[in-house]
Structures are given as structure tokens and as C-alpha cells.
């Protein structure tokens, strides 16, 4: 049986509460992780996740003229092909379950 110790990461990515969100996002991207731990004086005070990035982006009501199209940031080589059903009048987003 595989143990948690065998699969867990010991190289944790950490930031301070005063870190700018964009810096935290860069740290996440560089380390290829979905979150960073927020430490203050060596103590864990929070976690900043990909979901937090999305929420912050939405709450900032970004100026559409300053936001890049998806083609500039999307992953082009998806590991699995996802087929979304067509629906008239709106987009449907599919989720891979494989």
C-alpha cells in the first residue's frame, strides 16, 4: 500500500501575506503547483489557490480592453480530449472524467 509520505511533496511554495497576487501566481506557475502556503513569522496563516485567483479576477471587474483573449493563455495541448455537447443559445463546458 502506498503511504502519504511516499507521494507528498516536501518542497513547499510559500509566500507572505504582503505578497502581491501576481507574484504568488508567478510562484505557482514556476513551481507548477495549484496553491501557495501563506506564512507570517513562520506560522501558517492561509493558503492561496487557483480558485482564489479566479475569484479575485472576477471581483476586480477587469477592463475588457486590458484582458488578453484566451488564445494567449490557454493550454493548447490538452492531455485528454473533452467533447462538450452543443447547446443552442449558449456555451456548454465539458469536464474530462477519465
The C-alpha cell 502519504 sits at: 4
Q: What is the pLDDT of residue 59?
A: 82
Answer whether residue 30 is part of any domain.
Answer: yes
C-alpha cell at 52: 482564489
pLDDT tens digits, 30-79: 999 999 999 999 999 999 999 999 888 888 776 766 677 777 777 777 65
CATH code where residue 35 lies: 3.10.580.10
CB 38 within 8 A of CB 45: yes
Q: How many domains does the chain have?
A: 1
pLDDT of residue 24 exceeding 90, the answer is yes
Print the domain residue range for 33: 8-62
Q: What is the pLDDT of residue 98?
A: 41
Answer whether residue 35 is part of any domain.
Answer: yes
Answer whether residue 75 is part of any domain.
Answer: no
Order of strands across the sheet that contains 14-15: 14-15, 35-40, 43-49
Q: Mean pLDDT, to the nearest integer, of 74-87?
A: 63
Answer whether residue 43 is part of any domain.
Answer: yes
The C-alpha cell 501558517 sits at: 44
| Residue 74 burial by Cβ neighbours in a 10 Å radius (0-12, 13-18, 19+) | exposed
Answer whether residue 88 is part of any domain.
Answer: no
Q: What is the pLDDT of residue 46?
A: 96
Q: What is the pLDDT of residue 83?
A: 60
Answer whether residue 34 is part of any domain.
Answer: yes
CB 61 within 8 A of CB 74: no
The C-alpha cell 514556476 sits at: 30
Amino acid at each position: 500500500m502506498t503511504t502519504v509520505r511516499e507521494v507528498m511533496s516536501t518542497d513547499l511554495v510559500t509566500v507572505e501575506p504582503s505578497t502581491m497576487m501576481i507574484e504568488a501566481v508567478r510562484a505557482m506557475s514556476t513551481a507548477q503547483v495549484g496553491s501557495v502556503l501563506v506564512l507570517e513569522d513562520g506560522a501558517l496563516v492561509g493558503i492561496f489557490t487557483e480558485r482564489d485567483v479566479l475569484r479575485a479576477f472576477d471581483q476586480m471587474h477587469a477592463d475588457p480592453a486590458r484582458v488578453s483573449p484566451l488564445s494567449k493563455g490557454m493550454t493548447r495541448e490538452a492531455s485528454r480530449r473533452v467533447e462538450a455537447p452543443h447547446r443552442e443559445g449558449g456555451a456548454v463546458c465539458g469536464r474530462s472524467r477519465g
